[in-house]
Amino acid sequence: MSGTDTIVAADVVVTSPGRNFVTLKITTAEGLVGWGDATLNGRELAVASYLRDHVAPLLVGRDPARIEDTWQYLYRGAYWRRGPVTMTSVGAVDLALWDIKGKATGQPVYQLLGGAVRDRILAYTHASGWDVPRLLDAVDARREHGFLAVRAQSGVPGLGTVYGVSEAAAGHERPDRHGTGPDEEIWDTDAYLRHAPEMLAAVREHAGPGLKLLHDTHHRLTPGEAARLGRALEPVNLFWLEDVTPAENQEVLRHVRRHTTVPLAIGEVFNTVWECQTLITEQLIDFVRTCVTHAGGISHLRRIAALAEIWQVRLGPHGPSDISPVALGASLHVGLSTPNFAIQEYMGYEPVVHEVFRHAWSYEDGHLHPGDEPGLGIEVDEALAARFPYEPGYLPVARRRDGSVTDW
Ligand code: KDG
Ligand code: MG
């Protein structure tokens, strides 16, 4: 990169091939195009507007080579900092600029980040079932597809649809509802706590000791409940137990840690290193789950990784199907070049998503690789994307049996 190129356009592409994705396209005077994912599930247009109305005008005329300077400019220059909308926007710009730098130098991004420290990246996928027998079938199907690590979720006796599983779509995480408002689910922590240890023990018994087994509590428990669940799950030998508490108050994790050795993973809703700070420096978690888009891009995820490395915390980034293949690819470039990167979440995408977002990254035998194309290795088919207009969608809302709202 000569340092003489200039950004001439920053455009936002909103497309909905089965679910909504927001993508940033940065174009330079020399004709390079960089792509960044800006998808924030259920709040997509807020990020689109932040980028279109507030960020794009600032990018035009800037040097695309100055990635870190642009990050600082957007983060500190806005004064109003942090939060998912801001940091997803900053993240999208960061991804697009790394993509451009890779294309300008003819290198895949992981080479620019120091080169590969591993040959491939361990992936985990989701298996779910309305009841335990159907969950076990789903786990078997994932293993037949080569996965060595599986996140297991099941329905809870006495409850309807719960996070990660629905009767209608056993085996798949439910897509957003398209309509005027969110679905509402009933949640009962006691019923869940009675069921979860049995359910996960059944998976362990069925799958044997070799499977890396994960489970997501999805922010539902108090510290005391989390400590009890962690203890009950110790014989199951989980790879991790995710999001046991909402973690808005990070100090409460001290209580959980004092009572259980179950490995803990937290962070998919965090947006900066500062939200991870207490959890990492007090070693209250084993894995940090921050997402390459929602936490400010490759540049900022690497900062989180650097802090985590000192405290022997490893990365297991968020990678559900509600972030686009652009973000997944970016996460894999970080994964290949970051020593304390442990595992990447990978739910997969519907075939049409792979057509809209053509990617060099690949899955094989339980592992992912970012590929060796210059930049992030992603091309977006804009004509195809235009055939899928935005549709409003919401994540569900959860209520306790008494009707009060709780964490979904
Ligand atoms: O948009 C919300 C989802 O990304 C989230 O519910 C998925 O918890 C999740 C996970 O671990 O993939
Ligand atoms: Mg999660």
Q: What is the DSSP string of 70-106?
A: HHHHHHHHTSS--SHHHHHHHHHHHHHHHHHHHHHHT
Residue 55: DSSP 8-state: I
Q: Which residue has the tokens 């190129």?
A: 5
Q: Mean pLDDT across the chain, nearest whole number?
A: 95
- Answer whether 143's CB lies under 8 Å from 207's CB: yes
112-406, superfamily in CATH?
Enolase-like C-terminal domain (3.20.20.120)
Instruction: Identify the pLDDT of residue 139.
Output: 97
Q: Token pair of 217, please?
A: 């509590």
202-256: pLDDT as tens digits: 999 999 999 999 999 999 999 999 999 999 999 999 999 999 999 889 999 999 9
Between the CA of 235 and the centroid of ligand 1 the distance, in Å, is: 26
Q: Which one of 50, 163, 346, 349 is the catalytic residue?
A: 163
Q: What is the mean pLDDT of residues 263-288?
A: 98
**CA–CA separation, 218 vs 245, rounded Å?**
8
Q: Say how many C-beta atoms besides its own lie within 10 A of residue 258's C-beta.
A: 9
Does position 317 have pLDDT exceeding 70, yes or no?
A: yes
Number of H helices, E strands in the chain: 14, 20
| Cβ < 6 A, ligand 1 pocket | 41, 216, 218, 268, 320, 322, 345, 395
Does position 269 have pLDDT exceeding 70, yes or no?
A: yes
Whose Cα sits closest to atom 9 in ligand 1? 320
Q: Which residue has the tokens 């359910």?
A: 199
Ligand 1, atom nearest to 320 Cα: 12
Does position 171 have pLDDT exceeding 50, yes or no?
A: no
Give the dihedral sign, CA 290/295/301/304: negative
337-381: pLDDT as tens digits: 999 999 999 999 999 999 999 999 999 999 999 999 999 999 999
In the chain, where the domains are located: 7-107, 112-406
Backbone angles phi, psi at 240, to 5 degrees: -160, 160
Does position 325 have pLDDT exceeding 90, yes or no?
A: yes
- Answer whether 407's CB lies under 8 Å from 218's CB: yes
CA distances from 408 to 217, 222, 386 (A): 10, 14, 32
* Known catalytic residue at 163: yes
**CA–CA separation, 164 vs 152, rounded Å?**
9
Identify the band that residue 172 occupies on the pLDDT scale cut at 50, 70 and 90.
Answer: very low
Between the CA of 320 and the centroid of ligand 1 the distance, in Å, is: 6
**CA–CA separation, 99 vs 330, rounded Å?**
9
Q: Which residue has the tokens 């290949």?
A: 336
Residue 251: DSSP 8-state: G
Q: Say how many C-beta atoms besides its own lie within 10 A of residue 404's C-beta.
A: 8
Instruction: Identify the pLDDT of residue 181.
Output: 87
Q: Which among 57, 53, 13, 55 has a CA at the least distance from the CA of 33?
A: 13
Architecture of domain 7-107: 2-Layer Sandwich (3.30)
Whose Cα sits closest to atom 7 in ligand 1? 320
The answer to which of 77-91, 135-149, 171-185, 380-394 has the lowest mean pLDDT is: 171-185
Backbone angles phi, psi at 151, to 5 degrees: -95, 125
46-87: pLDDT as tens digits: 999 999 999 999 999 999 999 999 999 999 999 999 999 999
Instruction: Identify the pLDDT of residue 177.
Output: 54
Between the CA of 395 and the centroid of ligand 1 the distance, in Å, is: 10
